[in-house]
Structure 1
């Protein structure tokens, strides 16, 4: 899989009922966002079918960005079946994202 670009019109349909989805809110002009994208591509490949990765350009999709209270870029929100579970603001190392995904997967395994 790879990072899928979505917008105000496609966000909900790409998110709902799809298991674990990591969504990056950023912009093409944002330097930290450019650094984050290769990390997200790697996560998408490593988690394969167990993770969907979406990206939202806040300039092109202000309704979606506003809905989730995006104030800084990049912001990553991890969803499970359409519900937001974790929010990471700012550029973080890959380990921060893998820790959150590991926690969500561990919780799912307990159920």
Structure 2
């Protein structure tokens, strides 16, 4: 079942240990800017959110978002997904102003990409 099965069973510690191991291996082999590394980091951030480990989740969310901005550009769908993930982390922490600001930026960028008549 891998990490997904552990997450679905609420076994956050086991999922975290596996995700850290995978992330460290991918990071060593593929480096920080590789899409698989960033996905692995985002998965670990999700696990931290599920454990209410907000600081660690936020640090990873910011790192993934900033790296994707630098490598892929601010308007890339993966970068926008990272902004959205960070907004969720802010929401879970009760930092609604930061969450709203992040979501507004994300919405504006999606409108620029998809056009004014699009639904976001």
- After TM superposition, the score normalised by the length of structure 1 is 0.29
Using CA pairs below 8 Å that are at least 6 residues apart, which structure has the higher relative contact order? 1
Whose helix fraction is larger, Structure 1's or Structure 2's?
2
Structure number, greater radius of gyration? 2
Query: Between Structure 1 and Structure 2, which shows a larger proportion of strand residues?
Result: 1
- Normalising by structure 2, report the TM-score: 0.28
